[in-house]
């Protein structure tokens, strides 16, 4: 498979259909900063983005707030 030299034409702005929400006070996206402490006691700090989906709810990726772990045998067992 050959890679495209330019995925989009230069200078073209890609915009989703609709209009800009210029009256809303809150931004639709936020920065999510977390400090995750592992069972061994080591701390990892992460910064990710999140999307505001409700006044009290932000959706972000799991890797932003969960500790990574190695796969286990039971992970591949159908439930």
- Pairwise CA distance, residues 47 & 21, whole Å: 26
Measured in residues, the chain has a length of 79
Q: What is the pTM of this model?
A: 0.46
| Beta pairing partners, 48 | 32
Per-residue pLDDT, 45: 84
pLDDT, tens only, 18-71: 666 667 655 678 888 888 787 788 888 888 888 888 888 888 988 887 777 777
Q: Where residue 1 falls among pLDDT bands split at 50, 70, 90?
A: very low
Task: Answer whether residue 2 shows pLDDT above 60.
Answer: no
Beta strands in 1-79 (DSSP E): 29-37, 43-54, 57-59
The helix/strand/coil state of 43 is strand
């Amino acid at each position: 498979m050959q890679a495209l030299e330019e995925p989009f034409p230069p200078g073209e702005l890609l915009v989703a259909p609709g209009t800009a929400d210029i009256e809303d006070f809150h931004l639709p996206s936020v920065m999510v900063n977390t400090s995750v402490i592992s069972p061994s006691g080591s701390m990892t700090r992460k910064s990710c983005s999140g999307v505001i989906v409700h006044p009290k709810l932000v959706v972000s990726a799991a890797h932003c707030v969960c500790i990574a772990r190695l796969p286990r045998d039971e992970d591949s067992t159908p439930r």
